[in-house]
Amino acid sequence: MADLQFKALRKSFGDAEILHGIDLDIRDGEFIVFVGPSGCGKSTLLRCIAGLEEITSGEISIGGQRVNEIPPSKRGIAMVFQSYALYPHMTVAENMAFGLKLAGHSKTEIQAAVLRAAQILQIEPLLDRRPKALSGGQRQRVAIGRAIVRKPGVFLFDEPLSNLDAGLRVQMRVELARLHADLGTTMVYVTHDQVEAMTLADRIVVINQGRIEQVGAPLDLYRRPANRFVAGFIGSPKMNFLTCSLVSARDTDATVRLGDGTLVTAQVDARGLAEGTPLTLGIRPERLLPEATGGEDTARATVLVAEHLGDTVFLHIQGLEGQGQITVKAPPETPFRTDSEVHLRFPAKHCHLFGPDDRALTRLI
C-alpha cells in the first residue's frame, strides 16, 4: 500500500527530452491509467517509477519516501511487462517464487504465497510447467501472479493486454478490475487503448508528447475534456471536429457559424471572445442527429459509406463545406445508406467549443 508523487519530473535521452515536467499525485489504493498515443512517454514514465530509468530532474516519491536514488529492487513495486518477460528456464511456480526467494523468505512461506496467488489467478494446474508450454493468456496470468506474490505497495502494468486476442483481452480486463477490488493496492496501468482506460481507471491521466493533458475520472474526461487532444483521444469513434466562427455569446449559450453558413448553438460559455473568433466545434458521433429532411439549423451532406455493425451503423459523411470527414453513430434502423443525402442536426447541449489555442470553453450544463 503506497501513494505516489511526481514533482516536476523530467526525463531526457541524450538531447531529446521525453517527459517535460510531470506533476501528479496518485492516492493510495487508486487505479490510475496512463493513456496516450505511442511515443508520448507513458511507458517511460512507468519505467521511471520502477527505477528502470533514471530521471533527469525532479522527484518521485513512493509511500512518502523519495526514491530517486533507490534501486528498483528496494522500491516496493512489482511490474507486469508487455512482453510478460517470464524466466524461461524456471517453472511457473519458480517464476512466481523468484522474488520471494531473493528476499530470503522461508520455503513454506513461499509455497503458501505462490499457491494463494495461483488460486486467485486459477493457474494451479500449471505450476509445474515451463513458460513455453503455456498459451499467451496463461503466460499473462503467470506474469501477474509473479507480481502479486510479492505483495508490493504499487503494481505497475505496461500494456499488459496488448498481446492478447480480443476475447481474452476483455476477460483479462474484467479480472484485473476484480483483482484491484480484492487487493485494494495502488495500480498504475499504461495503455494506448482508451477502452481499457475508461473501463479500468479510477482516474485517467492523458499524456501527449511528454506532457499531462488532463487528469480526471473517466466520465469527467469524456464529458468535459480540457482540450481538443483529450476530446479526440477519449471516445470511440473519435469526436467530430468542425471549424466555425463565433457569431454571438450569451449567458446560457453561444452561436457559431459553420463554413457552409449553418448556425449552430452550443451550451458553452464563449463570453469574452470577440465576434468572428475562429473556433472548433466538437460533437461526439452518437450525439449528431442525422435527419432525412432539412430544417432550420441543419447542415446538408452526403453519406460516403454506411458501415453496419449489427447493433449500430456508422455513417461516414463527406460534404460539409471546408470540413473533414464526419462520423455519425446511428441506430440500426436508420434509413441512410451509402450515397444518401443527409441533414445533420447539432443538439446544443452536446456541443463542445474549443478556442483558438485548442483549449475547451466551459460547458454550461
Partner 1 sequence: MAIVIDKSQRWRIFAAHAFLIVLCAIVIFPLLMVVSISLRPGNFAAGSLIPKSISLDHWRFALGLPVTGPDGRVTQPDLPVLLWLWNSVKVATLSATVAVLLSTTAAYAFARLKFARKKAALTGLMLMQMFPTVLALVAIHSIFSRIGHAFPAIGVNSHWSLVLAYSGGIALHIWIIKGFYESIPPEIEEAATVDGATPWQAFWRVLLPMALPILMVVFLLAFIGAVNEYPVASILLHSQDRLTMAVGAKQFLYAQHYLWGDFAAAAILSGLPVSVVFILAQRWMISGLTSGANKG
What is the binding site for partner 1 (CB under 8 A)? Answer: 50-52, 71-74, 77-79, 81-89, 98-99, 102-103, 130-134, 136, 139, 146, 150, 163
What type of residue sits at position 77?
A: I
Question: What nine digits make up the cell of 343?
Answer: 441533414
The smaller minimum CB distance to partner 1, of residues 15 and 311, is found at: 15
3-state secondary structure of 37: coil
Strands 57-62 and 65-66: antiparallel
State in angstroms the smallest separation of the CB of 352 from partner 1. Answer: 39
Q: How far is the CB of 90 from partner 1 (least distance, A)?
A: 8
> Distance (Å, rounded) from C-alpha 201 to C-alpha 139?
24
Q: How far is the CB of 22 from partner 1 (least distance, A)?
A: 21
Task: Decide whether 149 or 317 has the Cβ nearer to partner 1.
Answer: 149
Residues contacting 254, CB < 8 A, separation 6+: 246, 248, 265, 266, 268, 269, 270, 271, 353, 361
User: Alpha-carbon torsion 38, 40, 44, 49, what sign?
Assistant: negative
| Pair 201, 218: CB distance under 8 Å | yes
From the list 55, 90, 80, the residue with the least C-alpha distance to 69 is: 55
List the one residue out of 239, 246, 244 whose CA is nearest residue 286: 239
Q: In degrees rounded to 5, what are phi and psi of residue 331?
A: -70, 160
d(CA 135, CA 144): 14
Question: What DSSP state is assigned to residue 363?
Answer: B
**What letter represents residue 352's amino acid?**
H
Contact 184, 149 (CB under 8 A): no
Cα angle: 123, vertex 129, 135; to 5 degrees = 65
Contact 331, 232 (CB under 8 A): no
Q: Roughly how many angstroms between the first and final C-alpha of the chain, as a whole number?
A: 38
**Segment holding 120, helix H or strand E:** helix 107-121
